[in-house]
Structure 1
């Protein structure tokens, strides 16, 4: 009963706090005028992932189509407009038309996971409201654009008088998460202690159910919700219930420069690459175990492959996770065949992709999977997790030809790695060519077209008035 009371108290206090922040914002918004600008709420502008690419491409698209609208970014990073423009170009190859205004946030700790050892989702959601309150107090734009998935900030932005637009990479809560708790499955977002207890699992289901209702309530206040995949759209439409205001816009993937890479690859020392942030949900450990298993099963007379991990670290926890991977590679006696590349420049990433024959991805229910598209565009055969975005949108046949492989378990990944390594060159080239053709569906140009078609009905009336 104490746990039930704690759950209800947490949710009730969250609602009350949200109302208090909103009330305070309403008073402030009456005293401050809104700026003729689009404010991008993106607290981490150095995470190096697909979400950051979406941010810079979205800024560029707004600058191109609405030159009379200023662009500002709300971030907790200490960076100048010039530094951010340089980062967008160096890391992602996105050249902004002009520097954007930077609104520095100092309360970012309230959205960090370690701040909330328990009830992390509701804690971070409430923290995002507080952080957004700081942002909107400092700078109130006409259009509030969330590119990081903080739906609880939308009612607050509307009270400040903003039009709310969001690009949602994945739902904060989903029916899949609830199902796993019901099945008592232990994962990065379901502690083993809870998974082993029927009572605690039932209580967590109640918590998730109540949170889902709250999430749907705040999300429905968006004027426009763009989502990155079919899987994400199905969940957002179910939770937010605004299908007419929900548009699927595939994220921008750099397919143009990657498609210039030759499809032929070195066969003496085949390279397998893994591009992802060093986060728990990316399941790098599974890739390492599968690679070690594949190496052990590989015939001794065949060349030894190399596995390249390429990614970035957001914080100390990610750095510790990276170190554990390095230690684990030594324990598995494969450290001579594994390399780690952290925070590489975009040009270096292109070079690494140009030498790889296969690319690993192992996140369960990955909402989309930009790295998979990058593999395909570069002529790298993807071996992706058999769920969500990769399964529903990306690793599908193109013109009747196979474009890659899907796997779930360590054994399946190992078997597929061996299959690619021992594949005749004509067969590998045929799959790589089909994968490259399919990757064109997710180009930056396609993103700009779909993005502008979605946002212009919101931005254009105000921009032309």
Structure 2
């Protein structure tokens, strides 16, 4: 009874705060980490710019946990992503961002982060109650709270926080980056696996109910769209491909030198990117090739923390174990100019993450003229590595290590003229993932709001 009473008091307090004052005529973007430097941050700044163009007399604000100023955020948007805002956004500094830091929750991470986002969202709405609350970071449990505060709610969802695929992996006891081997092993207690299934099912229910509170949900791919439609039944959901900055890459020549053929793989050294499987596939490919036609593999990425650094070290050890260390190059934390140069010389680009929700690096390969070889799932399969002009191949898909090795060999065995035709088609296809296309689609979706 005491717990119920406490919850009722909290609910009453929130309702009291929510109805104390009118919404300020502003559009506020909920993006607690404005320094992540990834595709999500690019979406944020492109969205802010588009909103400023659509509603020039409505101020924009950013909810962030970073120490930032309006001018510093505007400068970052331009210097990091080439996005020039029409005016610096207002900054609403959040003090409780640590509540959504996954490192604080070794167990029940999804649940704890979600509950933490509610507190963070409450802080945001108390500091600024906008007419439109726009989430660009995927914290769906803030949507009911924003609606309670009288806000309209929009979001751009890069991937579902919980999906039926995740539940299926636990049910099948498949070991993957979101399902530890301890629980996945067949001999483990049936109770542990059942408990995690129930936990995921409850999270999916909570996530689904919260997502339905969004007036408008934009999603980044067909794969994300299919999952969100199942979870957020009744919400208005629109697919808007993310803005990929490919203009400078499309200036690179499509022809490749036959003197030094190499594959490139661009991704942070995170577990889900499956660098170890790429290395194993490359070793298998080398075994099938003659000594004079052996290519190189260039792994390009960055390390977020000590775990990533350890993973990079393990990859180097794996290359030595497989005897291919003389054919593999590691490029850590390189500049964009250096990355562009590497992309411009690669015969093909490797991306082997399972269920990658979209795959910006795959689009970058295509723009640069490197034939993509991606995992046969989710975004790459459904949206990106798709035949152009009816039947012109734009790249290759593989689901297993032997398949990936086979596709590497196939690309190397092609005549240069055949590779060039695929590269041309791939470059044509990448146009649909441009910033201009994002801007047009985003604005079309936003016409439902009258601010």
User: Helix, strand or coil: the match of 2:397?
Assistant: strand
**Equivalent position of 1:223 in the other structure:** 215
User: How far 1:29 sits from its partner (Å)?
Assistant: 3.2
**Equivalent position of 2:119 in the other structure:** 130
**Alpha carbons of 1:64 and 1:190: their partners in 2 closer, same or farther (altered >3 Å)?**
same
Equivalent positions of 1:109-258 (< 5 A) are 109-196=98-185, 197=188, 198-243=190-235, 245-258=236-249
State which of 320, 325, 334 in structure 1 corresponds to 2:315.
325
Equivalent positions of 1:233-382 (< 5 A) are 233-243=225-235, 245-310=236-301, 312-382=302-372
Q: Distance in 2 between matches of 1:163 and 1:364?
A: 35
Describe the superposition over 1:380-427 as per-residue Cα deviations: whole angstroms up to 9, x where unpaired: 111111011111111111111110011122222122122223321101
1:390 counterpart = 2:398: no
Q: Distance in 2 between matches of 1:70 and 1:371?
A: 33
Q: Distance in 2 between matches of 1:50 and 1:223?
A: 24
**Alpha carbons of 1:419 and 1:199: their partners in 2 closer, same or farther (altered >3 Å)?**
same
RMSD (Å) for aligned C-alpha atoms: 2.4
**Equivalent position of 2:447 in the other structure:** 456
Moved more, 229-238 or 341-350: 341-350
Describe the superposition over 1:82-109 as per-residue Cα deviations: whole angstroms up to 9, x where unpaired: 3333333333332222222222323222
Q: Distance in 1 between matches of 2:306 and 2:68?
A: 20
User: How far 1:58 sits from its partner (Å)?
Assistant: 0.8
Q: Distance in 2 between matches of 1:357 and 1:370?
A: 18
User: How far 1:33 sits from its partner (Å)?
Assistant: 4.7
Moved more, 434-443 or 108-117: 108-117
User: How far 1:222 sits from its partner (Å)?
Assistant: 0.5
Q: Distance in 2 between matches of 1:23 and 1:149?
A: 26
Q: Distance in 2 between matches of 1:238 and 1:119?
A: 23
Q: Give TM-score, length-normalised by structure 1.
A: 0.89
User: Helix, strand or coil: the match of 1:151?
Assistant: coil
Moved more, 322-331 or 396-405: 322-331
Q: Which runs of 5+ in 2 are unaligned?
A: none
Moved more, 88-97 or 314-323: 314-323
**Equivalent position of 1:404 in the other structure:** 395
User: How far 1:17 sits from its partner (Å)?
Assistant: 9.4
- Relative contact order (C-alpha < 8 Å, sep 6+): which is higher? 1
8 Å CA contact 1:229–1:389 kept in 2: the answer is: yes
Q: Give TM-score, length-normalised by structure 2.
A: 0.91
